[in-house]
Every structure is written in structure tokens, then in C-alpha cells.
A and B are shown apart, each in its own frame.
Chain A
């Protein structure tokens, strides 16, 4: 009798749950969302494991590196293994330090990003993601590793499993409720902004490319974020210590035969104006490249990409990311970088293809 009571309840609950899952998946797909992976420490750690393959280049830095370097293009033109370890809003330094101290890592590194994140100090919360990712990577248990594999499988099938966009907290936090004055809110950009795949290649969505109001929404988000951050560029001795820390890590990697290149991808509009105002090239970029003795790839130095624009002022479109990546590879070849695929075809050279 009691068993029947529970059995009927279980069957009815199962039907309701199944109906909900179908509805929930249909609802998000119908609103234009496609399969994407939650870009968290778990998937970062899964990619961190891949850096030991021979002929590997690792990309580190912030979201500009994630959007603007096209991994498929890199792999196809260089024949190399490419690993994306950049993290949104995070400076390259902690991950660079980790790679420098990992004697088993023998690959090359491309690093860069937006100045606001790039020139930030350890004490800022900007390095939290990097610290969390590294801690998880080094402490990941066999159970967590297996769980991650199952999680990735399910995320590859169901759109709503991308927690950062569709998780309960994300949904609740998007409810427009005004906060008390003085509360620091860590908001997220609109969930239609971008998508990330298993290799952590992040791309602007077709919706963003075709919707100027959404682009404006993202631009407003950058403006609000910069305003909250109260930009105070590091200068003087602090900046010198900062350069020194980079150089220490770079020297370790070079000593093992690795190559390093800094990149400065494009930005436009108010974002570019803000970056140029607070971080003049001659006082930051030029000094960094000169002090560390490293290859530097600054987009305005290359006419073939200097004209590229960012729809939301900070990141390239997927098509332009291919152009940017081709130009970068071309430049690196010219500067003595060699790749397993040594020949550069006409198509490769034809950057605007």
C-alpha cells in the first residue's frame, strides 16, 4: 500500500521532471542559444593537462586572447598542438609563473590581453580565477576528474547545462533589483554575448554580430565595469617590479628552449580610448617588450589587421579572429619561430582571405 503510494509519486515525478527537461532545453534553444561549455576551473584544468604534448603553444592572458586567437586556424597553419589557458578578466602573470616553474613544460607561450587586466597586481581579485584554476588543477581528485568527463559529455548534448548562463544563481542575479548604494556588484555580460567550446575557444554569437542593441548592452557593461574598477595604473617602482616578475618567468621558459611572444589584440571606441589614456603604449607596452627582450605583436604595427574593429569595442568577430591569428603566425615566422608545418601557403599568407 505504502509502496504503491511512493511508486505512483515517483512515476508522476519522473514524468514532470522529463517534461521540464524537454521544455527547458527547448526554451533556451528556441531563444537562439547553442551548445556551449561552462568556462570554469574544471574545463581549464582539463585543458591544462594537454600542455605536455610535443610541439605545443599555450595561450594565456584574458578574454581577448580567448576571443581573438582562433585555435583551429593556429593548429591548421602551424601543425602544432594549441592549448587555450587564458581566463576572462585575469592577468597572464600567475599562469605564466606556474608554467615557468613547471619543468616538464617545454612548449611556447603567447600571452597578452587588455591593459586593465594585464597590468593588475596580485593583491587584486583579478587573479582569483587563476589561483582557483591552478589549485583545482593540482588538487583534482580521480573522482573529480571522472566527474568532469561525464559533465563534459552532458554539456555537449544539453544547452541548459551551461551553469554560468543558465544556472539558478545566474538566473536570479539577472533579476533587475536595485542595490543599496555602495554595494559592489559583480555582474556578468549578457548571456547572448559569447559561447565557449570544449577547447575554450570563445566566440561572439551570431546574435551579437547582428544585434546592435545587444552590442550596445555589452559596451555599457564594459563602461560600468571600468567605472567600478576605479582604474589606478601601476607606475614607478611597482611597475618595475611587475616587469621583473614577468622577466623572471620568461627567462626560465627561454632557458628550457621555449619561445614567448606578447600580443596586443585590437580594441575600438571608448574601450580603446580608455586603454590609451591610462596605459600609454610608450610607458607600458614598449617598456615591457624592451625589458623582457621578447617578441611583441601590437596590432597597430600591422596594416593588415590595424583596421579590424570590435563590435562591442573589446573583442574580434570570429572571422576577424582568423585574420588576426594568420597575421600573428606570419609575424612569428618572420621573427624566427618555427612550426611543425614549416611551409606557409599563399592562402596562409593571404591574411584577408
Chain B
């Protein structure tokens, strides 16, 4: 089920009523939430709910055993079991085809005639998200970072809670489990703010991503002809707006829906296109993933505690695997590699100019930042730096969106005006749509970069807020698109 559907509106209305019935016990309400979460997931593809159950059951019992087990070797064995279970499932469903294709290419390259039948593996929605959710629990148990969840119901709900289940935010046990332990019901303010965030999230998804940006982005990335630089840039900028609005839209809906039920989910986006540098970008883009990668990959690899070379290596490994997490294709790996290179270069500049500061206790990707030199000063220079960052991020989106390297290369050549015999593709109305929306997104991100939407909503007059809220909903009604799935479901 997707948030931008009539089905969800009915589903959510029923959930709100059930969750607020005064005569139901807290346990009954939690059972309702759990059943609803399974329904939410099964409405996509019912058989895959078995994977969710398997993952939940295994990790609940293995997690508890990991916490209580004193024998070092048994403990390691249990951790390996959990990793094999979680990552094995992810590898099979998400990377099975990718591994096979590369293995075949390798064997053919060395002269072996190996052509196996292509397996028809369907990717379960959100598998990368719930795998990371359960994985962090077992790793935390192994390291005794937090207490094991006492009740299976709480653990199952933590894994399955429908707002975050298929596309995040990726939650950690301490962020959500305690909220299930005691009766939770939204305050009047939470309910209203939740509805406002849900409206905003749907606006980003339905109006900006699906209606205004998707057409131009799809047309440009599907084109096989050489394009003028204007069309190529418009297509890439459109994707830039689409991917942000799609994913931030989902996260905003998820946070809003959870808030309406009285639960708080972590923030996942903080106006990323106003980032000054790439460290800053990763503090603002998919925050729960970047902090997950920091805590469960970068730091265990050694972080910046070892040699300079090792720090760069750790940074690159983190970003390469982060890229691969997004999709089973070398184009995603290159996307991650570009971000890794950007971050390493930032760190190198920082080292050269000696303007660094100790980054202990800060998010992983902040370590390699130019940011301290500029964040304290405001004005034109910072805007230029933000625009430069945005420019380079757009270059990375080419690899993220292109179906193969040939398409990516063809588009990059067009973007830098090197294509010959070009044919314009986008209509002028498309060019206007992309230009206006991207400019507004950038301005909005810049103005809001140190604030939050709820803070601003509190500050403005109630009538201004009403007008904005009405604008969001009316735009959704005019667009009418419902039921298109979110891009990040495939991850």
C-alpha cells in the first residue's frame, strides 16, 4: 500500500479510530497496529510477508541469545547466523541477478561458455530497509549497546510498524521500542501537526515528483538521441527534484502518519540541496541511512582512528557499499564512488588548508568537511558553495538514474555541450516547469536550512498556515495522480 492512494486514506482513517478507542487496552491497540502493518505490507505482495515474519522471529530470539550469551565463540556464531540470515536474504532477492550476471560475464571473459537460465527473482518491497532495521538490533545486542526487547509483540511492531516499514526512516530500537512500552496516543497538537506533515509529504510526492518532474526526467533518461545541453540539464535537474520530492515526501508522510498515532520517528531529510559541501549534504540527505552506515560500517572499519590512508579507504568503502545498497547495478556503485571521492577531496582540502576541527562524536561524513570554514560566515560565498555542491550532486544523479553506463555517458556528454547533431526533446512548458520548481526548491532549502517546517508553521499566522495547507491539498486534488509507487520502494 502506498500513502498516495485512496486505499491508504481509508486504511489510515480506520487505524486512527481504532487507536483512539478509549475502551481498548494498550496491548489490543498494539495488536491492531501489528495486524494493520502486516496488511499494509501484504497489500503489495502477500507472499513476501513470510520473509518479514522469518526475519522478525529469527532476530528476536537470536538478539536475546546474543545479549545473554557469555561464551565468546557461541556469541560470534549467533551473530554470524543472524548476519547470514539477514544479509543472505537481502543478497538473494536484491543481488541474486546482479551476482549471476557478473559471474557469467567473468566466466565468459576467461573463455568459458557458461549461459545459465536467468532466474526470475522478484524484489520484495522495502527489503533493504527492514533488513537494516533488524540488523542493527542484533549488532546492538552483540555489543550490548542496549537492552533486548522484552516482548515479542513490541519487537514485531518495531520491525513492522507500517509508517517506516517499506522506505524508512530506518529506525533503531531505542528510538521506537520504548514508545511501544507505554500507552501512546497523539495529543491534539501532534494529530494536527501529523496531518499537516502528511499533506506536505503527499504534495511533494504527488505534485512535485510525479506530476511536475517525472515526465521530463523520464523522457531525458529514456532518450537515445544526442541532446542539447539545455535538455540534458533539465532532465537531470528534473530527476534531482523528483528523487528528493519522492523520498523526502515519503519520509514526511511516514513521520506525519506516525505522529498522528502518537509516535515519533527520526528526521530523515533536512533541506539537502542547501548543503555546503558533501559532508553537510550527507548530514541532510537520508540521515537515518548515513548515520546507520557511520555506526555499523564506517566506525567498525576503523573510522578516522587509524592512518590517514585508512580513513580515506574507510570512507570510500562506506560510500561504495552505500551505493550498492541503493541498487544491484554498477551504476549505483559509481554513484557511491563519486560521493566517496567528493568526501575524500573535502577531507584532503581540509587537511591541506588546516582548517579542520576534531570530528569525534559527529556524523561519519562530517569528518571530511570544508564546512567549518564557511558555515560561520553567511552571504553570497555560501550560496555559491551551495550551488557548487548542488551542481556536483546533479552529476552523481546521472549515474543513479541512468539504466546503464552508455546512457549515463551519453547524457554527461550532452550536459557539457559536447554532443553533435542534437535534437531538442523537452517542450517549453516542461523547461519552464523544471526551471521554476528547481529554483523554488533551492530557495526553499536555503531559507529553511537551519529551521524545520513545523517551527516555521508555528511562527506564521494561522491564516497564512491555512492558505498554505489549502494550497497543498488543492494541488494534490488537481493533480489527481494516485497509486504511483515511491522510487525508494525498489531499494
- Residues of A participating in the B interface, judged by any CB pair closer than 8 Å: 2-3, 5-13, 16-17, 20-21, 24, 42, 141-144, 146-148, 150-151, 154, 161, 163, 166-169, 171-173, 175, 177-185
Can you offer 30 A-B residue contacts whose CB atoms are under 8 A? A2-B458, A6-B189, A6-B193, A10-B195, A13-B466, A13-B467, A16-B466, A16-B474, A17-B474, A20-B470, A24-B478, A141-B43, A141-B45, A142-B46, A143-B5, A143-B7, A143-B43, A151-B483, A166-B478, A166-B480, A167-B481, A168-B211, A168-B480, A169-B215, A172-B429, A173-B429, A182-B424, A183-B424, A183-B425, A185-B427
Residue of A nearest to B44 (CB): A141
Residue of A nearest to B214 (CB): A169
* A154: chain B residues within 8 A (beta carbon): 6
The contact of A150 among B10, B196, B426, B477, by CB within 8 Å, is: B10
- Residues of B participating in the A interface, judged by any CB pair closer than 8 Å: 1-2, 5-7, 10, 42-46, 187-189, 192-193, 195-196, 207, 211-212, 215, 423-429, 432-433, 457-458, 462-463, 465-467, 469-470, 473-475, 477-483
Contact between A3 and B188 (Cβ–Cβ < 8 Å)? Answer: yes
Q: Decide: A143 near B44, CB < 8 A? Known: A9-B466, A13-B470, A21-B477.
A: yes
Contact between A179 and B428 (Cβ–Cβ < 8 Å)? Answer: yes
Give Cα A67–Cα B466 distance, bound, in whole angstroms. 45
Contact between B462 and A151 (Cβ–Cβ < 8 Å)? Answer: no
Give Cα A179–Cα B479 distance, bound, in whole angstroms. 24
Q: Decide: A177 near B429, CB < 8 A? Known: A7-B188, A151-B6, A168-B475.
A: yes
**Min CB–CB distance B377 → chain A (angstroms):** 34
Contact between A168 and B479 (Cβ–Cβ < 8 Å)? Answer: yes
Give Cα A321–Cα B44 distance, bound, in whole angstroms. 41
Give Cα A16–Cα B474 distance, bound, in whole angstroms. 9
* B192: chain A residues within 8 A (beta carbon): 3, 6-7, 10
Contact between B424 and A180 (Cβ–Cβ < 8 Å)? Answer: yes
* B188: chain A residues within 8 A (beta carbon): 3, 7
Residue of B nearest to A184 (CB): B425
Give Cα A14–Cα B63 distance, bound, in whole angstroms. 47
* A6: chain B residues within 8 A (beta carbon): 189, 192-193, 196, 457, 462, 465
Q: Decide: A9 near B428, CB < 8 A? Known: A17-B477, A143-B1, A182-B423.
A: no
Contact between B462 and A8 (Cβ–Cβ < 8 Å)? Answer: yes
Give Cα A176–Cα B423 distance, bound, in whole angstroms. 21
The contact of B428 among A11, A42, A178, A184, by CB within 8 Å, is: A178
Contact between B466 and A5 (Cβ–Cβ < 8 Å)? Answer: no
Given contacts A3-B188, A183-B427, 9 further A-B contacts (CB under 8 A): A9-B465, A13-B466, A13-B467, A42-B483, A147-B7, A148-B483, A151-B483, A175-B429, A178-B428
Residue of A nearest to B479 (CB): A168
Residue of B nearest to A167 (CB): B480
- Kindly list the 7 A-B residue pairs having the minimum CB-CB distance in the complex, ordered from nearest: A12-B466, A143-B43, A6-B192, A16-B470, A150-B6, A13-B469, A9-B465
Interchain Cβ contacts within 8 Å, total number: 135
**Min CB–CB distance A125 → chain B (angstroms):** 10
The contact of A12 among B6, B43, B463, B479, by CB within 8 Å, is: B463
* B465: chain A residues within 8 A (beta carbon): 5-6, 9, 13
Residue of A nearest to B193 (CB): A6
Give Cα A173–Cα B196 distance, bound, in whole angstroms. 30
**Min CB–CB distance B422 → chain A (angstroms):** 9
**Min CB–CB distance B378 → chain A (angstroms):** 29
Give Cα A147–Cα B255 distance, bound, in whole angstroms. 23
Give Cα A335–Cα B481 distance, bound, in whole angstroms. 46
The contact of B469 among A9, A168, A183, by CB within 8 Å, is: A9
* B44: chain A residues within 8 A (beta carbon): 141-143
Give Cα A25–Cα B475 distance, bound, in whole angstroms. 15
Residue of B nearest to A146 (CB): B7
Q: Decide: A5 near B482, CB < 8 A? Known: A10-B469, A20-B470, A143-B43.
A: no
* B427: chain A residues within 8 A (beta carbon): 173, 177, 179, 183, 185
* B46: chain A residues within 8 A (beta carbon): 142
* B432: chain A residues within 8 A (beta carbon): 177
Give Cα A13–Cα B467 distance, bound, in whole angstroms. 6
Contact between B207 and A143 (Cβ–Cβ < 8 Å)? Answer: no
Residue of B nearest to A38 (CB): B480
**Min CB–CB distance B334 → chain A (angstroms):** 28
Give Cα A21–Cα B193 distance, bound, in whole angstroms. 23
- Max chain B Cβ within 10 angstroms of own Cβ: one of A142, A166, A185: A142
The contact of B463 among A9, A144, A173, A181, by CB within 8 Å, is: A9
* A141: chain B residues within 8 A (beta carbon): 43-45
**Min CB–CB distance B47 → chain A (angstroms):** 12
Contact between A5 and B458 (Cβ–Cβ < 8 Å)? Answer: yes
Contact between A12 and B42 (Cβ–Cβ < 8 Å)? Answer: no
Give Cα A17–Cα B457 distance, bound, in whole angstroms. 19
**Min CB–CB distance A330 → chain B (angstroms):** 42
Q: Decide: A12 near B482, CB < 8 A? Known: A17-B474, A143-B2.
A: no
Contact between B467 and A16 (Cβ–Cβ < 8 Å)? Answer: yes
Contact between A180 and B428 (Cβ–Cβ < 8 Å)? Answer: yes
* A5: chain B residues within 8 A (beta carbon): 458, 462, 465
Give Cα A166–Cα B478 distance, bound, in whole angstroms. 7
The contact of B479 among A13, A144, A167, A177, by CB within 8 Å, is: A167
**Min CB–CB distance B333 → chain A (angstroms):** 28
Contact between B462 and A9 (Cβ–Cβ < 8 Å)? Answer: yes
Residue of B nearest to A6 (CB): B192
Give Cα A24–Cα B10 distance, bound, in whole angstroms. 24
